[in-house]
Amino acid sequence: MGNCTSFTLPKWRLSELHSNGMVSIDEDDTHEGIKTIQIQKTCEFTASSVLCVCIITWNMNGKMSVEDVTKLDAMAETHILLCQKTMQSLQMFLFGAKSSEKFIRELKVDKHAVGGCGGIIGRKKGAVAMYINFSGIRMVFVSCHLAAHEHKVEKRNSECQHISHSLFSKNDIQYTKFADMTVWLGDLNYRLQGISSRPARKLIEENHQCKLRSKDQLLQEAEKGEVFNGYCEGTLSFKPTYKYNIGSSNYDTSYKIRVPSWTDRILFKVDHSSGLDAILSSYEALDCIRSSDHKPVRAHLCLKVHGDNA
């Protein structure tokens, strides 16, 4: 599983390639669930943005396709690798414009394993994380891979909580507690609940996948206050990202005929006391990538000064 981020001044980009803080996910006393955010395509990395970030998460099924990685983001001439963190097949990469380094005031990384190997030797579940203070903006990115299978909802919830309270816990400074923006991304592995594969696929074929959102376990668990309280996510307007036949854009035709699900997600929370707002200018799956049984998911976030609608 890989994840990756990259910067360009005053913009930057995070991208996650998924080959396969205290990050609180429920810190508010009031129950809000996950807020669905509409796409505002007017923010196209404009000069009024304080910072712009591109985030990509992709479960690469344990394989690295150079051709497909190139399709995700061709930025070799303008960007450099600022940082990376790996835990077996879980990887996170941070890229920025060549002039970015002088704006980095602090950069920390951490990792935390949960559970076993997920049934596949060498693919440990858990999370890797990065904290970066970029020109005074404090950000935390958590790339995680949680327990698989539809019935393991409570296990996924527990892993989220455990990761949240373990990352960066060895530091005297609670980097993640005071972050201006926190982003969780990765193969969260939440599935569709209460629908079999064939009806789900029929709705997708008819471009009615919006009718499946109410069956999404992640949104259900957040609504109950179990995980990611107060986080934001773009509308799930794209097709479920799992499980595909490798080499195609056709859903699983094995004997298991798995129910399509939005396993791959990007969630974010902005501390508005920082004076910042986040505008989501895109949230999409990349159907053209076919070397894995998962499709990559990409989001563009632009941070702006609170109240600045320019």
- Tens of pLDDT along 53-88? 999 999 998 887 778 877 778 666 888 889 999 998
- Nearest 10 degrees: Cα torsion 243, 244, 250, 251: -20
Which residues, in sequence order, are CB contacts of 304 under 8 Å at separation 6+?
43, 48, 49, 50, 276, 277, 278, 279, 310
Residue 29 has pLDDT above 70, yes or no: no
Which tens digits make up the pLDDT trace of 238-288?
A: 999 999 999 999 999 999 999 999 999 999 999 989 999 999 999 999 999
Greatest mean pLDDT range, 106-120, 128-142, 169-183: 128-142
Residue 13 has pLDDT above 90, yes or no: no
Which of the residue ranges 86-95, 241-250, 287-296 would you say has the lowest mean pLDDT?
86-95
Distance from chain centroid for Cα 72: 15
| Residues 283 and 299: beta-carbon distance below 8 Å | yes
**Peptide bond before residue 260 is cis, with ω within 30 degrees of 0:** no
| Residues 186 and 148: beta-carbon distance below 8 Å | no
Decide yes or no: CATH 3.60.10.10 for domain 2-305. yes
Residue 286, token pair as written in the block? 């990349």
Residue 277, token pair as written in the block? 């707002």
Q: Find the mean pLDDT for residues 197-216.
A: 97
Which residues, in sequence order, are CB contacts of 37 under 8 Å at separation 6+?
232, 233, 234, 235, 280
Which among 34, 16, 11, 10 has a CA at the least distance from the CA of 228?
34
Which among 68, 114, 61, 53 has a CA at the least distance from the CA of 87?
114
Percent of the chain with pLDDT over 70: 81
| Residues 181 and 146: beta-carbon distance below 8 Å | no
Predicted pLDDT at 2: 61
Greatest mean pLDDT range, 29-38, 114-123, 165-174, 250-259: 250-259
| Residues 289 and 248: beta-carbon distance below 8 Å | no
Q: How many helices (H) and strands (E) does the chain have?
A: 4, 14
Burial 105-120 (b: 16+ CB within 10 A, else e): eeebbbbbbbbeebee
| Pairwise CA distance, residues 237 & 99, whole Å | 35
Residue 119 has pLDDT above 50, yes or no: no
Residue 11, token pair as written in the block? 């913009």
